Amino acid sequence: MIHPTLANWIVGVVTGVWLANFLAALVPSLNYKPDPAIHGVFMLVAGGALALKRNNKKNGDRNGESP
């Protein structure tokens, strides 16, 4: 699977971009209308990274490398 630190970075970056996307839609002067499907894509990427990180711990691998 992936290293837990990499998973944390992926989740952090995706969450930051997701937040920027959400906030941009709230600013009327930008006239930005995001596609609603983008929220599902962001959730899938962030959730997938967390699931891959969790799988490492489930298998007894604490640092993402093979024992």
pLDDT of residue 1: 74
Q: Which helix (H) or strand (E) holds 18?
A: helix 4-26
Q: What is the pTM of this model?
A: 0.68
- On whether residue 67 sits in a domain, the answer given is no
- On whether residue 64 sits in a domain, the answer given is no
Residue partners of 15: CB distance under 8 A and separation at least 6: 42, 46
Residue span of the structural domain in which 11 resides: 4-58
pLDDT of residue 52: 84
Of 16, 33, 12, the C-alpha closest to 24 is 33
- On whether residue 66 sits in a domain, the answer given is no
Average of per-residue pLDDT values in the chain: 82
- On whether residue 30 sits in a domain, the answer given is yes
| CB neighbours of residue 7 within 10 Å | 22
pLDDT of residue 49: 86
Burial class (CB in 10 A: 0-12, 13-18, 19+), 53: buried
Q: What percent of the chain has pLDDT over 70?
A: 81
Residue 19 has pLDDT above 70, yes or no: yes
- On whether residue 63 sits in a domain, the answer given is no
pLDDT of residue 13: 92
Say how many domains are in the chain: 1
